[in-house]
């Protein structure tokens, strides 16, 4: 395969890999596919290898059971079987939260779990309640929606066709606990139910939510669970970014991802002589304009990266504006091309686009290429972003 021609701009290629299981030597596997790219004249200095978090976590064998999570919840919240646990602002997701909800309910099998959902959507844009029903209730965003007002009401998610309120009720009841589901955007509303402890289950605003609740009630975030290095399976992210797995287990987000990225960079340099950057990516920061779903259920798009990404933003000239500007000034096509080249070489950001964190841009591109359904390409080669 010949080197890509000069007229190709930024591009991303999904790289097919073999099956990766717990204990796989992922470092060797990624280095091997990078060497193949090099042998096919596809690898250049400044390229980025993007590795999905799921295969790194799987190779690290960091899985936890529901029973393990249950035990840690009991310990950290100091609750017994008849206790009462509050859960504030969980996202509605079968993959991301149902098994965590099972573990929470199993901690208080003769007690109660009070779940407070934000409305009308959860933190990542999943709609929880229908607009027509909200209009009939005459509610404002600062209002709460009580269990009585939700009784007999069913709303199915427009994409998954799942009634998540009912799913969470059933999940809690299956463990023997009583389920109370309420809707409210003020995190302190949960305190009116006098819980013994609270789990602030939101992802991106968890610290702010915890700050509101912790002075008045024992409270933890998802990051406080399964995050201790003393455990056999742990991640510095705790349960943030965890995913449902088989056999009653959750796969945690990868641990020490930046250190792994640095090792990949070093090994690729040894094998190919190329200086590349590496990042470990999760959910892309992409909002679906048709559903309003913002799929960033991971704490951030990038779990770890090589040092070349530090404080680096994508910015530059406003190409389309400057073409119009120079054309209006009477410049020829050739003169416009020369002026644009001069500005880009000089790093001139006059009339530039809004600066965006480069690692988030590239991670989002990689996530779109690999796809949530997994196209069998857990490594994505991205070209043309670094000079």
DSSP letters of 365-380? HHHHHHTTTT-S--EE
Return phi, psi of residue 276, to 5°: -115, 170
**Amino acid 269: pLDDT:** 97
Q: Is 230 helix (H, G, I), strand (E, B) or coil?
A: coil
- Print the domain residue range for 18: 11-61+254-311+357-383
Q: Answer yes or no: is 324 within a domain.
A: yes
Do 319 and 340 touch, CB atoms closer than 8 A?
yes
What's the chain's average pLDDT? 89
Would you say residue 272 has pLDDT above 50?
Answer: yes
193 and 86 inside one domain:
yes
205 and 284 inside one domain:
no
| Domain containing residue 104: CATH number | 3.40.50
Beta-carbon contacts of 349 under 8 Å, excluding residues fewer than 6 positions away, are 315, 316, 317, 355
69 and 193 inside one domain:
yes
361 and 258 inside one domain:
yes
**Amino acid 1: pLDDT:** 46
pLDDT tens digits, one per residue of 233-267: 999 999 999 999 988 899 999 999 999 999 999 99
Tokens (6 digits) for 306: 């090589």
151 and 264 inside one domain:
no
pTM of the model: 0.86
pLDDT tens digits, one per residue of 178-196: 999 999 999 999 999 999 9
**Amino acid 276: pLDDT:** 96
364 and 260 inside one domain:
yes
Query: How many other CB atoms sit within 10 Å of the CB of residue 22?
Result: 12
184 and 227 inside one domain:
yes
347 and 226 inside one domain:
no
Q: Answer yes or no: is 3 within a domain.
A: no
Report the first-to-last Cα separation within the chain, whole angstroms. 23
Strands (E) in 92-212, as ranges, are 112-117, 178-183, 197-200
The DSSP line for 236-256 is TTTTTT-EE-STTEEEPPPSS
233 and 332 inside one domain:
no
Nearest to 277 by CA among 301, 258, 298, 296: 258
Strands (E) in the chain, as ranges, are 11-15, 48-52, 63-65, 84-88, 112-117, 178-183, 197-200, 219-221, 243-244, 249-251, 277-281, 302-305, 313-314, 356-357, 379-383
In the chain, the number of structural domains is 3
Average pLDDT, stretch 92-117? 96
240 and 258 inside one domain:
no
238 and 183 inside one domain:
yes
86 and 29 inside one domain:
no
pLDDT tens digits, one per residue of 43-77: 999 999 999 999 999 999 999 999 999 999 999 99
| Domain containing residue 285: CATH number | 3.30.1330.100
Q: Answer yes or no: is 6 within a domain.
A: no
Q: Answer yes or no: is 1 within a domain.
A: no
Q: Answer yes or no: is 5 within a domain.
A: no
Tokens (6 digits) for 13: 């290629």
């Amino acid at each position: 395969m010949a080197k890509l021609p000069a007229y190709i701009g930024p591009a991303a290629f999904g790289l097919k890999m073999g099956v990766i299981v717990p204990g796989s030597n992922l470092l060797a596997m990624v280095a091997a596919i990078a060497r193949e790219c090099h042998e096919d004249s596809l690898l250049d200095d400044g390229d980025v290898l993007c590795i999905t978090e799921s295969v790194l976590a799987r190779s690290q064998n960091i899985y936890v059971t529901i029973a393990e999570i249950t035990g840690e919840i009991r310990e950290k919240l100091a609750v017994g079987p008849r206790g009462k646990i509050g859960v504030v602002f969980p996202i509605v997701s079968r993959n991301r939260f149902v098994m965590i909800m099972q573990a929470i309910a199993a901690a208080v099998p003769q007690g109660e779990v009070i779940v407070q959902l934000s409305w009308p959507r959860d933190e990542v844009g999943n709609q929880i309640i229908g607009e027509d029903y909200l209009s009939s209730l005459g509610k404002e965003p600062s209002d709460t929606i009580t269990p009585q007002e939700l009784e007999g009401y069913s709303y199915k998610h427009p994409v998954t066709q799942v009634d998540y309120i009912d799913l969470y009720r059933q999940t809690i009841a299956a463990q023997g606990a009583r389920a109370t589901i309420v809707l409210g955007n003020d995190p302190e509303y949960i305190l009116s139910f006098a819980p013994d402890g609270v789990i602030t289950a939101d992802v991106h605003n968890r610290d702010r939510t915890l700050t509101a609740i912790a002075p008045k009630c024992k409270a933890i975030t998802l990051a406080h669970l399964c995050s201790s290095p003393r455990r056999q399976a742990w991640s510095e992210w705790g349960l943030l970014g965890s995913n449902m797995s088989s056999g009653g287990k959750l796969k945690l987000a990868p641990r020490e991802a930046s250190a792994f990225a640095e090792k990949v960079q070093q090994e690729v340099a040894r094998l190919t002589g190329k200086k590349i950057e590496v990042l470990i990516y999760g959910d892309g920061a992409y909002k679906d304009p048709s559903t309003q779903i913002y799929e960033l259920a991971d704490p951030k798009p990038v779990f770890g990266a090589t040092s070349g990404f530090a404080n680096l933003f994508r910015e530059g000239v406003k190409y389309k504006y400057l073409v119009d500007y120079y054309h209006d000034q009477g410049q020829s096509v050739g003169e416009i091309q020369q002026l644009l080249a001069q500005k880009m070489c000089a790093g001139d950001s006059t009339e530039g686009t809004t600066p965006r964190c480069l690692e988030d841009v590239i991670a989002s591109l990689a996530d779109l290429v690999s796809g949530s359904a997994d196209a069998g390409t857990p490594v994505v080669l991205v070209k043309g972003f670094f000079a």
